[in-house]
A and B are shown apart, each in its own frame.
Chain A
Amino acid sequence: MNFGKKHIILYFLGGLALLFIVVPVLNMFFATELDVFFQTARDSEVKNSIFLTLWVSLAATLLCAAFAVPLAYLIAKKSFRFKTLLMGIINIPIVIPHSAAGIAVLGLVSRDTIIGKAAATVGLSFIDSPLGIGVAMAYVSLPFLIISAINGFTEVPEKLENAAMNLGASRWQTFFKVSLPLAKQSVFSGLILMFSRGISEFGAVIMLAYFPTITPILIYDRFTSFGLAYARPVAVIFVLICLTVFLFFYLLTNKKRRD
């Protein structure tokens, strides 16, 4: 395609959109002094919150994968009535405000509900606990995994699965040896998306668990208590970690694709 002078307006408009994404982040980096940055990096409250955010999101992602991947496979491979409606339902957590999503989850798992009481009998609580944080993160980020996995499984030709069964493979063997390996790129991308979306969640988590504090809530807490200068270094560190994690998985995914 020849992008000549006549596309200068497109370049300009596109460039503005790109700047809108990049400039606030760069500005945040440049506005943070290095000594404050390193001082914040040594802050145990910051370190603990980042560690908590990462492991809870990772655990939520891996646990949900056990349910989301089979669901995605069924949706991709089976024809049934109301399939479109089901796809719409899966998208609900994306389209509703995240604070509302948090309220919805809270209404289901708070201490006076059946689920809350049942959890209490085994010593668990969804309120102000990593469990609650994980549930809130999972609720808002699960659709990303399901949708990505559906796309992956849809692209696996039915002929290959039929060939596997004709060659003697059971449905499970066909799934694990043919369908899942061929869809792994999309499933893996979905896992990254869900994990990334989970670690950045604020609205839903704050409804269930202000404490222990995940990093997005810590940033908010420092901003409301001490102002921008105290919130910004935490944000910079967290953004750097998010970008590093994202870059690592992106490179890993690309390597798998090349392989």
Chain B
Amino acid sequence: MLELRNINLKLKDFELKDISLKIEKGEYHMLVGPSGSGKTLMLNIIAGFVKANSGQVLLNEKDITGFVPQLRNVSYLFQDLALFPNMSVAENVAFPLVVRHMNKQDIEEKVKKYLEFAEVYHLKDRGVSKLSGGEKQRVALARNLITESGILMLDEPFSAIDTQLKLSLKKLLKKISDIGVTIIHVTHNPEEVLNLADKITVVEDGKIVGSGNFNEVFHTPVNKFMAGFTGNRNYFYCSGVLNEDGITYILASEEKNCSRTVKIEVSDSVTTNTNSIIIDSNNIVISENRLSSSARNNFEGEIIAVLRSENSWEIEIDFGLSVWVKITEQSFVDLKIAVGKRVWISFKASAVKLM
């Protein structure tokens, strides 16, 4: 088990604040968050390349905080792979064993085993500069696995490869996970999380804002980033609650503690834990004129962006909040949708989910 305990680090223009995290043996754990949120910095602290101001890193309950990187035995696959250009594929993979002074025959056997595992044994004599992006990934993974550390940290491993190669790499990572290797994978790609994660930790502005198993975190977004990450773009902060004639309204805003709010009717009862809402983009109706329906959430706004998606259109409308609405091809034509056009939107209280 790997544990970060109350890690704090203050840099010139960034801060990691009280990071505590437990990663169980054999777990596929994803660190998710926007760029610059501190995910890679966390990996660097675990690997020993960055020293925290306070806190501990524990590996199998042993405090490794003061250990130099080469004694930590936590394998780290860098974003740019960091294959040694002065060595062949086999020499790269053998490197961790050569520096451990293992005998030549054992090295050859293990190199063969791990290159075969990564399905790149046929490339063993090739120079790394002559490999494709996908081949490089596999060689780098074999080099990490040969350390048999049991923990593999991946920093955005899919960032430099094309869509076709992503699938085969995902299968390989699944295979690595299945043999019991604990994986810590940094990403900001929802598809990778959906395909691979057992557990997810969400990082924002140097803080852990949520952590749990896949279903908990993926389906209950803890912040605006995660809401967008899981396809819920209409995430707004709750800046206040109103009760008028027995009807509950949320004062919703784009940012936390923002004075510019919009009164949204909600159906669920608001608790002290409610700090945000999500409006379901599939349940918002657009019309050229105000609809006479039972829905109390009727607003006039301006179309500010139009995006085509598969068999539908996504329209962004500013009515005090910027809300995304999904409409069909037919509605798009009928309503003569265009940027700058003023339209009405309407949604029921039941379309608003309290978070």
A-B complex is real: yes
Expressed in whole angstroms, the minimum distance between the Cβ of B352 and any Cβ of chain A is: 47
Whether A162 touches B84, Cβ cut-off 8 Å, given contacts A168-B96, A168-B99, A168-B100, is: no
A90 to chain B: which residues have CB within 8 Å? Answer: none
Whether A177 touches B95, Cβ cut-off 8 Å, given contacts A166-B76, A168-B100, is: yes
B73 to chain A: which residues have CB within 8 Å? Answer: 168
Interface residues of A in 138-191 (CB under 8 A from B): 157, 159-160, 162-170, 173, 177-178, 181-182
- Residue of B whose beta carbon sits closest to that of A172: B99
Whether A167 touches B95, Cβ cut-off 8 Å, given contacts A181-B86, A182-B85, is: yes
B70 to chain A: which residues have CB within 8 Å? Answer: 165-170
Number of interface residues of A (CB under 8 A): 17
Expressed in whole angstroms, the minimum distance between the Cβ of B325 and any Cβ of chain A is: 44
Question: Which of B72, B75, B84 touches A178 (beta carbons < 8 Å)?
Answer: B84
Task: Render B71-98 as a binary contact track against A, CB cut-off 8 A, 1 for contact.
Answer: 0111110101010111000000001101
Whether B76 and A163, one on each chain, are in contact in the complex, defined by CB atoms closer than 8 angstroms, is yes
- Residue of A whose beta carbon sits closest to that of B79: A159
Determine if B69 is an interface residue (Cβ-Cβ < 8 Å): yes
- Residue of A whose beta carbon sits closest to that of B82: A163
Question: Which of B49, B98, B143 touches A162 (beta carbons < 8 Å)?
Answer: B49
Whether A167 and B96, one on each chain, are in contact in the complex, defined by CB atoms closer than 8 angstroms, is yes
Question: Which of A168, A173, A182 touches B86 (beta carbons < 8 Å)?
Answer: A182
- Residue of B whose beta carbon sits closest to that of A169: B99
- Residue of A whose beta carbon sits closest to that of B99: A169
Expressed in whole angstroms, the minimum distance between the Cβ of B235 and any Cβ of chain A is: 36
Question: Which of B69, B85, B98 touches A166 (beta carbons < 8 Å)?
Answer: B69
Q: Number of A-B pairs whose CB atoms are under 8 Å?
A: 60
Whether A164 and B147, one on each chain, are in contact in the complex, defined by CB atoms closer than 8 angstroms, is no
A167 to chain B: which residues have CB within 8 Å? Answer: 70, 75, 95-96, 99, 143-144, 147
Whether A165 touches B68, Cβ cut-off 8 Å, given contacts A159-B80, A173-B99, A177-B95, is: yes
How far apart are the CA atoms of A108 and B259 in the complex, in Å? 76
Whether B86 and A164, one on each chain, are in contact in the complex, defined by CB atoms closer than 8 angstroms, is no
A177 to chain B: which residues have CB within 8 Å? Answer: 84, 95, 98-99
How far apart are the CA atoms of A239 and B310 in the complex, in Å? 75
Whether B86 and A163, one on each chain, are in contact in the complex, defined by CB atoms closer than 8 angstroms, is no
Determine if B252 is an interface residue (Cβ-Cβ < 8 Å): no
Interface residues of B in 95-136 (CB under 8 A from A): 95-96, 98-100
Task: Render B199-215 as a binary contact track against A, CB cut-off 8 A, 1 for contact.
Answer: 00000000000000000
Whether A162 touches B86, Cβ cut-off 8 Å, given contacts A167-B143, A168-B100, is: no
Whether A166 touches B75, Cβ cut-off 8 Å, given contacts A160-B84, A182-B86, is: yes
Whether B99 and A166, one on each chain, are in contact in the complex, defined by CB atoms closer than 8 angstroms, is no
Expressed in whole angstroms, the minimum distance between the Cβ of A229 and any Cβ of chain B is: 52
How far apart are the CA atoms of A197 and B143 in the complex, in Å? 43
How far apart are the CA atoms of A41 and B68 in the complex, in Å? 60
How far apart are the CA atoms of A157 and B81 in the complex, in Å? 12
Determine if B47 is an interface residue (Cβ-Cβ < 8 Å): yes
Expressed in whole angstroms, the minimum distance between the Cβ of A151 and any Cβ of chain B is: 17
Question: Which of B74, B78, B100 touches A163 (beta carbons < 8 Å)?
Answer: B78
How far apart are the CA atoms of A54 and B84 in the complex, in Å? 36
How far apart are the CA atoms of A167 and B99 in the complex, in Å? 8
- Residue of B whose beta carbon sits closest to that of A157: B82
Q: Which 7 pairs across A and B sit closest by C-beta, in order of nearness?
A: A163-B82, A167-B96, A169-B99, A165-B69, A181-B86, A159-B82, A166-B76
**What are 28 residue pairs bridging A and B, where the CB atoms are less than 8 Å apart in the complex?**
A160-B82, A162-B47, A162-B69, A162-B82, A163-B76, A163-B78, A163-B84, A164-B84, A164-B95, A164-B99, A165-B70, A166-B49, A167-B75, A167-B95, A167-B99, A167-B143, A167-B147, A168-B73, A168-B147, A169-B95, A169-B96, A170-B99, A177-B84, A177-B95, A177-B98, A177-B99, A181-B86, A182-B85
Interfacial residues, chain B to chain A (CB-CB below 8 A):
47, 49, 68-70, 72-76, 78, 80, 82, 84-86, 95-96, 98-100, 143-144, 147
**With A166-B47, A168-B96, A177-B98 given, can you name 11 additional A-B contacts, CB distance below 8 Å?**
A159-B82, A162-B47, A162-B49, A163-B78, A167-B143, A168-B100, A168-B147, A169-B70, A169-B99, A170-B99, A173-B99
